[in-house]
A and B are shown apart, each in its own frame.
Chain A
Amino acid sequence: MHVSGRKGARYLIAIFFIFTMNFFIPRAMPGDPVSNLLGEDFVSGKETLEQIRTELGLNRPLIFQYVEYWKGILSFNFGYSYHFRTRVSALLIARLKWTFLLVAPSLLLGTLVGTLAGAGAGWWDEGFRAYLVLFCFLFLYCAPPFFVSLLFLYLFSFRWGIFPLKGFYSTGQVGDILRHLFLPILVMTIFSASRNFFVMRGSVLQEKGKWYVLYARAKGLSGNQVLFRQVLKNASLPIITLFALDFGFIFSGALFVEIIFSLNGMGTLIYEAVLARDYPVLQGSFLLITLMMVLANYGSDLCYRFLDPRVRQDTSPTLKHLLGTNDIGNDIFSELIHGSRVSLLVGLLTGILSTVLGVIVGLVSGFKGGLADEVLMGMTDMVLMIPRIPLIIVLAAFVKPGFWLIAAVMGMLWWTSTARVVRSQTLQVKTMHFIQSARCLGFSTVHIIFSDLLPSVFLVVIPEFFLSVASAMISEASLSFLGLGDPSMKSWGMMINFAFRKGGFLNGMWWWYLPPGLCITFFVMSILFLSFSFEERQFLPEIGGEDVTLAD
Chain B
Amino acid sequence: MSLLQIEDLQVSFETRGGTVRAVDHFSLSMPEEETLALIGETGCGKSVVANSILRLLPDNARIDGAIDFDGRNLLTCNESMMSSIRGQEIAIIFQNPSLSLNPVYSIGHQVGEPFRFHRHFSWSSALSEAQILLERMGFERPASAIRMYPFQFSGGMNQRALIATAFALKPRLVLADEPTRGLDRELADDIVRQLDMVKDRVSSLLLITHDLRLARRISKRTTVMYAGQIVELSPTSLFFENPLHPYARGLLGSLPENGFRPIPGFSPSMIHPPTGCRFHPRCSSVMKRCSSERPPLFDVRGRQVRCFLFDPS
Q: Do A and B come from one complex?
A: yes
Residues of chain A having any CB pair with chain B under 8 Å: 210-212, 214-223, 225, 230, 233-234, 237, 307-310, 313, 327-328
Contact assessment for B104 and A222 in the assembled complex, using a CB-CB cutoff below 8 Å:
no
Contacts A234-B103, A309-B151 given: A217-B94 contact, CB under 8 Å? no
Contact assessment for B56 and A214 in the assembled complex, using a CB-CB cutoff below 8 Å:
yes
| Bound Cα distance from A221 to B103, whole angstroms | 17
Q: Does B2 have its Cβ within 8 Å of any Cβ on chain A?
A: no
B136-172 at interface with A (beta carbon < 8 Å) = 149, 151-152, 162, 165
Least Cβ distance of B72 to chain A in Å? 15
Q: Which of B80, B102, B117, B162 has the most CB of A within 10 A?
A: B102
| Bound Cα distance from A309 to B105, whole angstroms | 8
Least Cβ distance of A235 to chain B in Å? 10
Q: Does B284 have its Cβ within 8 Å of any Cβ on chain A?
A: no
Q: What are 20 A-B contacts defined by CB distance under 8 Å?
A: A211-B96, A212-B99, A212-B101, A212-B102, A215-B100, A218-B56, A219-B86, A219-B91, A219-B165, A220-B83, A220-B85, A220-B114, A221-B83, A222-B80, A222-B83, A223-B79, A230-B105, A233-B104, A308-B104, A310-B151
Contact assessment for B100 and A211 in the assembled complex, using a CB-CB cutoff below 8 Å:
yes
Q: Does B206 have its Cβ within 8 Å of any Cβ on chain A?
A: no
- List chain B residues, Cβ under 8 A from A230: 102, 105
Q: Does B35 have its Cβ within 8 Å of any Cβ on chain A?
A: no
Partner of A221, one of B94, B99, B113: B113
Contact assessment for B114 and A219 in the assembled complex, using a CB-CB cutoff below 8 Å:
yes
Residue count of chain B within 8 Å CB distance of chain A? 31
Least Cβ distance of A315 to chain B in Å? 11
Contact assessment for A310 and B105 in the assembled complex, using a CB-CB cutoff below 8 Å:
no
Contact assessment for B100 and A212 in the assembled complex, using a CB-CB cutoff below 8 Å:
yes
Contact assessment for A234 and B104 in the assembled complex, using a CB-CB cutoff below 8 Å:
yes
- List chain B residues, Cβ under 8 A from A215: 94, 100-101, 162
Least Cβ distance of A318 to chain B in Å? 18
Contact assessment for A217 and B86 in the assembled complex, using a CB-CB cutoff below 8 Å:
yes
Q: Does B207 have its Cβ within 8 Å of any Cβ on chain A?
A: no
Q: A214-B100, A220-B87 are in contact. List 5 more A-B contacts (CB 8 A).
A: A212-B99, A212-B103, A214-B56, A215-B94, A222-B80
- List chain A residues, Cβ under 8 A from B101: 212, 215
Least Cβ distance of B47 to chain A in Å? 11
**Complex: chain B residue closest to A207, CB-CB:** B102
Main secondary structure on A side of the interface with B: helix
- List chain A residues, Cβ under 8 A from B104: 233-234, 237, 307-310
B80-123 at interface with A (beta carbon < 8 Å) = 80, 83-88, 91-92, 94, 96, 99-106, 113-114, 117-118
Contact assessment for B88 and A220 in the assembled complex, using a CB-CB cutoff below 8 Å:
yes
- List chain B residues, Cβ under 8 A from A327: 103, 151
Contact assessment for A234 and B56 in the assembled complex, using a CB-CB cutoff below 8 Å:
no
- List chain A residues, Cβ under 8 A from B130: none
**Complex: chain A residue closest to B114, CB-CB:** A219
| Bound Cα distance from A225 to B88, whole angstroms | 16
- List chain B residues, Cβ under 8 A from A308: 103-104
- List chain A residues, Cβ under 8 A from B91: 218-219
Least Cβ distance of B105 to chain A in Å? 7
Contacts A211-B99, A233-B104, A233-B105 given: A218-B86 contact, CB under 8 Å? yes
| Bound Cα distance from A64 to B157, whole angstroms | 62
Contact assessment for A328 and B151 in the assembled complex, using a CB-CB cutoff below 8 Å:
yes
| Bound Cα distance from A310 to B98, whole angstroms | 13
| Bound Cα distance from A307 to B165, whole angstroms | 23
Q: Which of A219, A223, A233, A310 has the most CB of B within 10 A?
A: A219
Instruction: Pick the 4 closest A-B CB pairs, nearest first.
Output: A220-B87, A211-B99, A220-B86, A219-B87
| Bound Cα distance from A313 to B148, whole angstroms | 13
| Bound Cα distance from A212 to B94, whole angstroms | 10
Q: Does B22 have its Cβ within 8 Å of any Cβ on chain A?
A: no
**Complex: chain A residue closest to B57, CB-CB:** A214
Partner of B117, one of A218, A219, A309: A219
Least Cβ distance of B8 to chain A in Å? 24
- List chain A residues, Cβ under 8 A from B102: 212, 216, 230, 233-234
- List chain A residues, Cβ under 8 A from B38: none
| Bound Cα distance from A223 to B55, whole angstroms | 13
Least Cβ distance of A203 to chain B in Å? 13
Contacts A211-B94, A222-B79, A225-B117 given: A310-B85 contact, CB under 8 Å? no
Least Cβ distance of B160 to chain A in Å? 15
| Bound Cα distance from A234 to B105, whole angstroms | 9
Least Cβ distance of A216 to chain B in Å? 7
Q: Does B54 have its Cβ within 8 Å of any Cβ on chain A?
A: yes
| Bound Cα distance from A33 to B201, whole angstroms | 84
| Bound Cα distance from A221 to B149, whole angstroms | 20
**Complex: chain B residue closest to A234, CB-CB:** B104
**Complex: chain B residue closest to A221, CB-CB:** B117
| Bound Cα distance from A212 to B56, whole angstroms | 13
- List chain A residues, Cβ under 8 A from B92: 218
B37-93 at interface with A (beta carbon < 8 Å) = 54, 56, 79-80, 83-88, 91-92
Least Cβ distance of B171 to chain A in Å? 10
Least Cβ distance of B69 to chain A in Å? 14
Least Cβ distance of A419 to chain B in Å? 33
Least Cβ distance of B145 to chain A in Å? 14
